[in-house]
Amino acid sequence: MIEKYKDLEAVAAKLGIQGFSMSEAGGKVAMTGRTTYQLEKDLFWDALKKHGGWENEAAADIKVEKNDIHGYHVVQSGESLSKIAKVHFDDANRYMDIFNANKDQLKDPNMIHPGQKLLIPKR
């Protein structure tokens, strides 16, 4: 059964999940690892959920080191804080949450630039 989930090793590596391991016991695949931010854990779980039957076959215990920050977002051309808030919070009106978490590099919520690496606070 572990072969079915082998692709998740590459996902974990891409997301920077450290100490990732998979083992099979009692008819289930157990996955463990640790990451810095919740965002990487969420993205890993999204990949796991693409496997049909995962609910009965797999368990993942990915520890998060920084619980107050969801992750980072690198600004792309044409983005605004409200667009970024819509992506991360499903609520464009929460753009000020992102602005407030990044006051060290942002002076105006209407002025962001491609390539900036913004902290995304926890939901």
Residues 18-40 pLDDT 10s? 999 999 988 899 999 999 888 88
Per DSSP bridges, beta strands 69-74 and 58-64 are: unpaired
Residue 109 pLDDT > 80: yes
Q: Quick one: 56 and 77 in the same domain?
A: no
Same domain, 58 and 101: no
Residues 86, 107 within the same domain: yes
Q: How far is CA 67 from CA 63, 78, 102, 120, in A?
A: 10, 29, 17, 12
Range from 12-26, 32-46, 59-73, 87-101 carrying the lowest mean pLDDT: 59-73
Range of the domain at 89: 69-121
Which two three-digit tokens encode residue 105? Answer: 């590099």
Number of domains comprising the chain: 2
- Rounded to the nearest integer, the mean pLDDT of the chain is 92
Percent of the chain residues topping a pLDDT of 90 = 72
> What is the rounded distance in angstroms from the CA atom of residue 123 to the CA atom of residue 108?
22
Closest CA to 36 of 17, 51, 20, 52: 17
